[in-house]
């Protein structure tokens, strides 16, 4: 029987029970490989209850630097009998199954085309530890030790991670180190004779990259971007944005001399209250945001319409998950595009920013606060669970200390006193953006009141048709301005001229990068454009027009980005080919490669030189 042999290029998946303490050991596995200079991309797949249901932790190990999910599993560490069949089915032919062999299992439970490695982990722990909780926790470390021995992961690296984790808790440190070495010794004595072809060797492929969750990066971006008000209601997978913001605000927004807190964080009674709070804060001149997910956006739509029409700035951070309704709270999708872009009734359009990784979460969070005030409108940061709740390797975060916040068109007391004409809803610069004043700017001049009903340019109530048309047409012009101010798409030309293109965005990017390379190796050359914001600038329509067929790769059932493109750019639907992934797991490079290859053959659109 053949076996998979690979050095620094494979996929390991741990199948555990939620609440068993496996998460810490699994993360140690990934971090140890990272410390050896080999890039990793871990993903935690967990249930929406506290404990007892299946959970998985998948680690992509790739010295070449691909950070998306590849597809397929080379080594399955199957520690959950409940999911045994599906876990074993995922293993690539020639791959490896590592399992707890304390209880004998029939031969029919094993596939003939994989290599099986059994370790009686439960029996060893039962014989070593008296406390039931210790037996469960140290079983995970025992398995980590065995795997580290089999794969060549240096024990000193793991011990260093233990030392960091248990600094000041020497008793826990010593017991974890003993369990680690017990696992390594068992592997040397009993498992070394079995064939095992996956190895980790020291490399220098990580460089200066950092390991960071997207939600933490988003929160830090809000701090650096000047946010002083956060109102939120807990919802998976966005809650850690507000929690991280509080942690960073305590550190960076507390006066060291007086202890005065220069921020406000409100856990509201629901999502409606939270967006109401930031609407008031934005109107009053504070930089404010809320963090939520799809169900929260649904509840926030009335306030979003008010803020759009009254032109009040704030930021909504939408960490997307599976829907509709409660959907899959702990699974990822890109399925809030339409509900966010057109949130509220009437003719309403909102700016969406589409980050690909934690670094862009940081950059775009700060930028969103600038754009909200520059445009005087709500701005959405469209993250998702895959980015937000998983550790990702990314370039170091950067900030220019000379950067100044863009407060937009805010008229000062001096300008008002000097007689500068002021009309709250009048376009005087041709970009659709009016001037505003902040409450308290001047004792008698300027606007201190706004409404959600129709008004004229001076903010006076009006039901005249021409006043309404003038106002909503100005809002349309402002949206066109937003297309030029928001992050522009990034284009990657194929190595050969081609009439095929692909559009993608957000967390699809890492898998898409790898897929493009694989497609090129197979002779399918595709020009690529990564969308980074909505509304779309003219370059998107130009990219589509330059190609016979353009694949739109996204993680939802209804091709929501494709719908936006058709609706906003009025392109021919047949020109945009759907590539959709929506089972709640992050899209894989193999899925994209296979789907596009099938489409190319079905369309009979083999790449050819442009005329």
pLDDT score at 611: 38
Pairing, β 198-199 against β 6-7: parallel
The separation between the first and the last C-alpha atoms of the chain, rounded to the nearest angstrom, is 50
Element (H, E) at 512: helix 509-521
Task: Name the pLDDT band for 433 (thresholds 50, 70, 90).
Answer: very high
pLDDT score at 606: 52
* Of 557, 596, 602, 550, nearest in space to 571 by CA: 550
For 146-205, the pLDDT digits (tens) are: 999 999 999 999 999 999 988 887 778 889 999 999 999 999 999 977 789 999 999 999
Does the structure show a pLDDT above 60 at 89? yes
Task: Name the pLDDT band for 35 (thresholds 50, 70, 90).
Answer: very high
* Of 54, 7, 61, nearest in space to 30 by CA: 61
Q: What six digits make up the tokens of 96?
A: 């490896």
Cα–Cα distance, 476 to 483 (Å, whole number): 11
Q: What average pLDDT does the segment 582-609 reach?
A: 86
pLDDT score at 184: 97
Does the structure show a pLDDT above 90 at 605? no
* Of 289, 316, 296, 319, nearest in space to 224 by CA: 289
276-282 CB contacts, 8 Å cutoff, 24+ apart = 276/303, 277/229, 277/231, 278/229, 278/230, 278/231, 278/314, 279/303, 279/306, 279/307, 279/312, 279/314, 281/229, 281/231, 281/314, 282/307, 282/312, 282/313, 282/314, 282/372
Does the structure show a pLDDT above 60 at 400? yes
Task: Name the pLDDT band for 27 (thresholds 50, 70, 90).
Answer: very high
For 526-538, the pLDDT digits (tens) are: 999 999 999 999 9
Task: Name the pLDDT band for 113 (thresholds 50, 70, 90).
Answer: very high
Cα–Cα distance, 327 to 330 (Å, whole number): 9
Cα–Cα distance, 512 to 505 (Å, whole number): 9
Where helices occur in 526-588 by DSSP H, the ranges are: 538-545, 560-569
- Return the axis-axis angle of helices 155-165 and 132-151, rounded to nearest 10°: 140
Q: What average pLDDT does the segment 23-38 reach?
A: 96
For 480-495, the pLDDT digits (tens) are: 999 999 999 999 999 9
């Amino acid at each position: 029987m053949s076996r998979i042999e690979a050095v620094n290029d494979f996929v390991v998946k741990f199948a555990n029970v939620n609440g068993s303490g496996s998460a810490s050991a699994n993360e140690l596995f990934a971090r140890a490989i990272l410390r050896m200079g080999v890039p990793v991309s871990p993903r935690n797949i967990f249930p929406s209850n506290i404990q007892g249901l299946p959970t998985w932790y998948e680690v992509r190990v790739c010295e070449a630097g691909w950070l998306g999910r590849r597809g397929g599993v080379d080594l399955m560490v199957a520690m959950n009998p409940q999911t045994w069949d599906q876990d074993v089915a995922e293993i690539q032919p020639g791959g490896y199954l590592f399992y707890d062999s304390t209880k004998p299992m029939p031969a029919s439970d094993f596939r003939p085309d994989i290599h099986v490695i059994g370790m009686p982990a439960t029996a060893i722990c039962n014989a070593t530890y008296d406390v039931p909780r210790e037996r469960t926790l140290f079983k995970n470390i025992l398995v980590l030790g065995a795997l580290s021995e089999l794969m060549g992961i240096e024990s000193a690296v793991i011990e260093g991670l233990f030392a960091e984790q248990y600094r000041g808790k020497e008793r826990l440190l010593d017991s974890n180190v003993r369990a680690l070495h017990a696992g390594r010794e068992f592997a040397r004595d009993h498992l070394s004779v079995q064939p095992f072809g996956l190895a980790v060797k020291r490399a220098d492929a990580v460089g200066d990259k950092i390991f960071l969750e997207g939600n933490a990066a988003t929160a830090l971006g809000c701090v650096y971007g000047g946010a002083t008000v956060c109102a939120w209601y807990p919802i998976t997978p966005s809650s850690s944005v507000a929690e991280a913001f509080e942690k960073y605000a305590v550190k960076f927004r507390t006066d060291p001399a007086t202890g005065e807190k220069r921020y406000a964080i409100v856990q509201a009674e629901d999502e409606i209250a939270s967006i109401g709070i930031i609407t008031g804060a934005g109107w009053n001149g504070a930089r404010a945001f809320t963090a939520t997910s799809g169900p929260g956006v649904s509840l926030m739509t009335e306030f979003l319409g008010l803020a759009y029409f009254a032109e009040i700035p704030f930021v909504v951070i939408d960490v997307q998950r599976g829907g509709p309704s409660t959907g899959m709270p702990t699974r990822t999708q890109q399925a809030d595009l339409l509900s966010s872009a057109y949130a509220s009734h009437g003719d309403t359009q909102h700016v969406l920013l589409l980050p690909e990784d934690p670094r862009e979460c940081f950059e775009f969070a700060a930028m969103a606060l600038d754009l909200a005030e520059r445009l005087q409108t709500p701005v959405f940061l469209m993250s998702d669970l895959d980015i937000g709740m998983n550790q990702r390797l990314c370039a170091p975060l950067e900030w220019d200390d000379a950067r100044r916040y863009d407060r937009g068109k805010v008229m000062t007391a001096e300008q008002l006193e000097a007689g500068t004409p002021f009309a709250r809803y009048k376009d005087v610069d041709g970009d659709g953006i009016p001037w505003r004043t902040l409450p308290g700017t001047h004792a008698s001049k300027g606007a201190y009141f706004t409404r959600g009903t129709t008004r004229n340019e001076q903010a006076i109530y009006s039901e005249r048709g021409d006043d309404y048309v003038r106002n909503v047409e100005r809002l349309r012009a402002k949206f066109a301005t937003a297309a030029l101010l928001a992050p522009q798409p990034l284009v990657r030309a194929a190595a050969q001229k081609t009439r095929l293109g692909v559009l993608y965005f957000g967390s699809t990017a890492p898998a898409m990068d790898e897929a493009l390379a694989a497609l090129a190796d197979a002779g399918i050359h595709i020009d690529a454009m990564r969308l980074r914001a909505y509304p779309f600038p003219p370059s998107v329509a130009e990219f589509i027009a330059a190609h016979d067929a353009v694949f739109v790769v996204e993680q939802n059932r209804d091709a929501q980005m494709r719908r936006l493109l058709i609706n906003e750019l009025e392109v021919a639907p047949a020109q945009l080919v759907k590539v959709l992934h929506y089972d709640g797991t992050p899209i894989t490079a193999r899925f994209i490669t296979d789907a596009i290859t099938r489409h190319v053959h079905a369309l009979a659109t083999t790449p050819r030189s442009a005329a």
